[in-house]
Amino acid sequence: MKRPAVPPPARRMPILLGRLKEAYPDAACALVHQNPYQLLVATILSAQCTDARVNLVTPGLFGKYPDAARLARARQPDVERLIQSTGFFRNKAKNLAAMARSVVADHGGEIPRTMEALKALPGVGRKTANVVLGNAFGINEGVTVDTHVSRLSRLLRLTRHTDPVKIEKDLMELVPREDWTLVSHLLILHGRAVCIARRPKCGACVLADLCPSAKPN
Ligand code: SF4
């Protein structure tokens, strides 16, 4: 039997959001951090790496380099050794040092709190800036689009795009601004727990009746 067509994204989004909030009431940033500096460093390290792995590495790194000023003066091989297990460690160490030097030179050692200033830091793109603004400063400037957010947004037909910037724009139109940071956490958690890549558990999914990609299982 043919499935009835689901309503358009704008009608589904409030319901999807409500169900996800109910399913993941503790949704929050998975990168352990105490301040904007730590979150920025952790986010840079999280490229091509799991949050769990980053969380194993950051206590040692923050113990040795507790702020941007200290990191700016670090010897690259020392940083590389501490972050080695996160992968691409030479590049990441270089980016961390350049970012820290720029924070010291241009912002008095404090992590800036605007999209423009964050994006101007070496190794920081819109995605990283969104993570820091939303989670360290509580500023909903955009939606963080990672691989889960991108995949689920397409499966749920909240977007037809593959370009993260375009996906972000679509989500910003559908989701109330106060939930821009949260929606990303919710989709990531759902992508890890239920809507797993290549083996989504549609039969156990709270969004199944509103998901155009739902499969019987
Ligand atoms: S119904 Fe299936 S494809 Fe749709 S969001 Fe849920 S798990 Fe993913």
Minimal-distance CA residue to ligand 1 atom 2 = 202
Assess whether pLDDT exceeds 80 at residue 90.
Answer: yes
Assess whether pLDDT exceeds 70 at residue 2.
Answer: no
Cβ atoms 111, 132 nearer than 8 A? yes
Q: Give residue-wise pLDDT tens across range 170-208.
A: 999 999 999 999 999 999 999 999 999 999 999 999 999
Please compute the mean of the pLDDT values over residues 86-114 and round it to a whole number: 98
In angstroms, the CA 130 to CA 144 distance is 6
Best mutation site among 156, 198, 199 for ligand 1, i.e. most ligand atoms within 8 A of its Cβ? 156
Q: Please say if 170 is a catalytic residue.
A: no
- Å from CA of 106 to ligand 1 middle: 45
Tell me what pLDDT residue 56 has.
98
Please compute the mean of the pLDDT values over residues 31-42 and round it to a whole number: 98
DSSP 8-state symbol, 160: -
Spatial neighbors of 85 by CB under 8 A, at least 6 apart, are 53, 56, 57
Q: What percent of the chain stands above pLDDT 90?
A: 97
Assess whether pLDDT exceeds 90 at residue 29.
Answer: yes
Q: Please say if 127 is a catalytic residue.
A: yes
Scored b (16 or more CB within 10 A) or e, 30-50 reads bbbbeebbbbbbbbbbbbebe
Assess whether pLDDT exceeds 70 at residue 1.
Answer: no
Assess whether pLDDT exceeds 90 at residue 216.
Answer: no
Average pLDDT of the chain to the nearest whole number: 97
What is the atom index within ligand 1 of the atom nearest the CA of 155? 3
- Å from CA of 49 to ligand 1 middle: 24
Tell me what pLDDT residue 5 has.
84
What is the atom index within ligand 1 of the atom nearest the CA of 214? 1
Assess whether pLDDT exceeds 80 at residue 3.
Answer: no
Best mutation site among 207, 215, 217 for ligand 1, i.e. most ligand atoms within 8 A of its Cβ? 207
Cβ atoms 157, 212 nearer than 8 A? yes
Assess whether pLDDT exceeds 90 at residue 136.
Answer: yes
Q: Which residues line ligand 1 (CB under 6 A)?
A: 155-156, 194-195, 200-202, 205, 207-208, 211, 213-214
